[in-house]
Structures are given as C-alpha cells and as structure tokens.
Amino acid sequence: MIKSLLLIAILVTPSGIVFGQGAPVPPWADSALTKTGFWRGYDYTSRLNPEVAYGDLDGDGLWDVAFGIVDKGGRRHGVVIVNQIDRSVHILGAGQPLGNGRNEFVNWGLAELLGYRAGVRVWDWHLSGWFVWNGRTYAWVPDSE
C-alpha cells in the first residue's frame, strides 16, 4: 500500500517546468489572450503542434504559460507569456523590440533560475540571453561574453 501511494505521489507531483507540443491551452490563458485582442495580430507558430511551456516565471508559486508565436504582419517569431495570477499578457519578440536591437527570436525554452522560478532562455546564432521577470515586466538580460 505504501509503495502504491509513493508511486502515485511521484507521478502527480509537478516539476518546475513542463514542455508540451500540442498541449491544450488552459482556459484562463485563452481567456486572457482573447480579452486583450491578442489574436488580431498574432498566432501560434503552429496550429497543429503549438510550442507550449509551463513554469513559474514570475516567482508567485503559480504556473504561468508560454507559447511560441508569430506576428501576422511579418511572420516574426517570439513568445507570449500569460501570468496566471493576474492574467497579464506579455509579448516577447514577434515584432516587438527586445531591448537588444532585435525584434524576433526562434529558439527558446524555459529554464530554472536560482532554483525557485523559471526564465525564458533564448539562443540564436546572433544573440543569447534570458527574459526574466523584474516585478513589472520581462526584461532582457544578455549572456555575458
């Protein structure tokens, strides 16, 4: 009995970051995106297999969600983050200035920061760094050379 309970506890205990191709959009995130008018100017990088990642990006203990996106006007790539606590929507790249002279990136993922929250890790041949929550917004922090 104890072995069964331990196995169940291990299987249902969430890890810090979860990635999912084609994972369903949580209703709270879809509602926030719709309410802000996000879908008028942006779309997923793929409707069949959207890039989705979950992690605590703002350090509040709740899982936030990040999606790979493109802007409909120029097909520039980026990420949108929806913070679960306040349903705020944050667009990184996809035509929006990044703070490093660029306005898009393709390669990204979530990675642990300081062991208690996650950040958006960006790596491309011309730039690499992090988007981290600074208490108000997601700020670009370049890798040190």
pLDDT digits (tens, 9 = 90+) for 73-132: 999 999 999 999 999 999 999 999 887 778 899 999 999 887 678 999 998 777 789 999
Kindly report whether the global pTM for this prediction surpasses the value 0.85: no
Q: Is residue 49 part of a domain?
A: yes
Q: Is residue 7 part of a domain?
A: no
**Domain boundaries, position 80:** 16-142
pLDDT of residue 22: 52
- The tally of domains found in the chain comes to 1
Higher pLDDT, 7 or 105: 105
Q: Which residues of 98-107 are buried (b: 16+ CB within 10 A; e: fewer)?
A: beeebbbbee
User: Among residues of the chain, what percentage have pLDDT more than 90?
Assistant: 59
Q: Is residue 115 part of a domain?
A: yes
Partners of residue 53 on adjacent β-strands? 19, 66
Other CB atoms within 10 Å distance of the CB of residue 17? 18
